[in-house]
Structure 1
Amino acid sequence: MRASISTTVNRQAWDREARLALPHDRPMAPGRVEWTQYPGHGPSTELFGDVNGLTVAELGCGNGDNLAPLAARGAHCVGVDLAPTQISRARIRWGHLPIQFHCGDARVFLTRTRPLDICFSIFGAIGLCPPEQLLPLIAQQLRPGGRLLFSVPDPTWLGPRRALMRLADGSHVPVARWLSGLEGWKAAVNAAGLHHRHVDSILTPDGDATCCLLVRAQKPAAERDG
């Protein structure tokens, strides 16, 4: 599937998902960062460390829930999402926090934003657009020593659902995904000029299958003169 077609498909899918949830949105209080498909399961904000004063961007931020805990800890947060209604939801839920939300393609955003200390994606842009296009842009925009963290669904967990997403009303919409296993994501991260630090398989709450892959990488620090 061509990148332009996949962009349209994914924008329509997540916009439709957001329209179903929009009537129920209201201002919220920050919770935890959810890296997996199961709320309350797996790691949370501890993966970021101290974010006070750092510039943090989420690519494919959806309703903004995963940015809010970082903003509450003093990070300068920016969220970008392809779907306009997702950004509308995020502004309703988190307009009382100092988070900048932008509607647009993450690849375009990365060519225009200021340097980033941390970039992350949770079932977001990474995995939903071509990684050979997105990952090098992330590497370019990170400051030396900056970090990339992302989670993506495990291909076996998705199974035949990889090309469809089930919505809250029971309907299904097509989606375009770029799936890989642990070794594939390691190779993609390294090819982009980043160093993978941790690549983990996260099990489902009952422990009988892998639900997602969690990747942590870092841009090499600048070499000192002399």
Structure 2
Amino acid sequence: MTETAIAWDTYARQRPERRPTNARGETTWFNWTQYPDHGPGAELLRLPAGGRVLDLGCGKGGNAAHLARLGMDSVGIDVSAAQLQAARDRWGSVPGLSLVQADAAAYLDTAGSFDAVCSVYGAVWFTDPAVLLPLVRERLRPGGTLAFSQRPPVEGCYGCQASYIPRGDGEDPLVVKRWDYEPRGWERLLTDHGFSEARAKVLPAPPGRQKIGTLIVKAQA
């Protein structure tokens, strides 16, 4: 097992399960942000009926399962066996859903084509864009959508950064790399790698005590 997989297995054990239903009483839903019942839904992906969609870093599978319930051929990949086991335990019987343990770049190197690729606080955040974006662009069908979300960057801290995943008492945290850019930085990266209509913006947090919004980025092949 790689150090990255160990880190995300550790993270999986710390994360709560998705609620049984959302505020609208739905058993599956798409959530781009870190806050419940907040932000847009799957319509950002502009999926055709019966389309094929890839969730990069699908975690415990809630978004990928929702896309399958919408009638998509939905593929969720994650490097963490623990994340995927949780996804299979809850969503494994959903028709149209495939769950694969794989590194994002390695999977894209041999994957088929997709109408959309999404990543919610997932592999797009934690993979060098110089490596990942060309692979995504190659696998997207003409006019297909790449959309992803992550936390906005800390001002002045751009490019490769460190994320720390805590472990038990007396143990050093595990470290994974992430890539942070301002909205205009993401737009430039996407257009430099052959995408069009690149748009990035920070969606403010919902009213309340929260202050950190969600960076949502979208582009077309």
**Same fold per TM (> 0.5)?**
yes
Q: Render the CA deviation track for 1:123-179: whole Å, top value 9, x for unaligned.
A: 10111010110000000011111110111211139x8x952245799x954331111
In the alignment, which residue of structure 1 is the partner of 2:206? 205
For structure 1, which runs of at least 5 residues remain unmatched after alignment? 1-6, 220-226
Kept after mapping to 2: 8 A contact 1:59/1:79? yes
Matched, 1:86 2:83: yes
The 1-side partners of 2:166 and 2:41 are apart by 25
Q: CA RMSD in A?
A: 3.0
Question: Residue type of the partner of 2:112?
Answer: R
Query: Could you tell me whether the CA contact under 8 Å between 1:61 and 1:121 is conserved in 2?
Result: yes
Check whether the contact 1:60–1:82 (CA below 8 A) recurs between aligned residues: yes
TM-superposition CA deviations, 1:63-111 (whole Å, max 9, x none): 1101111111110000110111111111111111131111011111111
Cα separation, 2, equivalents of 1:194 and 1:200: 17
The structure whose residues are more often helix, as a share, is 1
**Shift in alpha-carbon separation, 1:25–1:186, aligned structure 2, 3 A:** closer
| 2:30 paired residue number | 33
Out of 60-69 and 43-52, give the one that drifted further. 43-52
Question: In 1, are the aligned partners of 2:162 and 2:175 still within 8 Å (CA)?
Answer: no
Residues in 1 aligned to 2:167 and 2:187: alpha-carbon distance in whole angstroms: 31
Amino acid at match of 2:163: A
Counterpart residue number, 2:163: 163
Q: Does 1:195 align with 2:196?
A: yes
Q: Distance in 1 between matches of 2:154 and 2:53?
A: 30
Q: Is 1:95 the equivalent of 2:100?
A: no
CA shift for structure 1 position 13: 2.1
Q: Any conservation in 2 of the 1:80–1:104 contact (CA below 8 Å)?
A: yes
Please point out which of 8, 13, 17 is paired with 2:7.
13
Residue pair 2:78, 2:102 contacting (<8 A) in 1 also: yes
Check whether the contact 2:47–2:115 (CA below 8 A) recurs between aligned residues: no
- Equivalent in the alignment of 1:58: 55
TM-score, normalised via structure 1 length: 0.81
Aligned residues: 209
- Structure 2 residue runs without a partner (length 5+): none
**TM-score between both structures, scaled by the size of structure 2:** 0.83
* Map of 1:123 onto structure 2: 121
Amino acid at match of 2:33: T
Q: Secondary structure at the match of 1:111?
A: helix
Q: Secondary structure at the match of 2:8?
A: helix
The separation in 2 between residues aligned to 1:39 and 1:164, in whole angstroms, is: 24
Counterpart residue type for residue 188 of structure 2: A
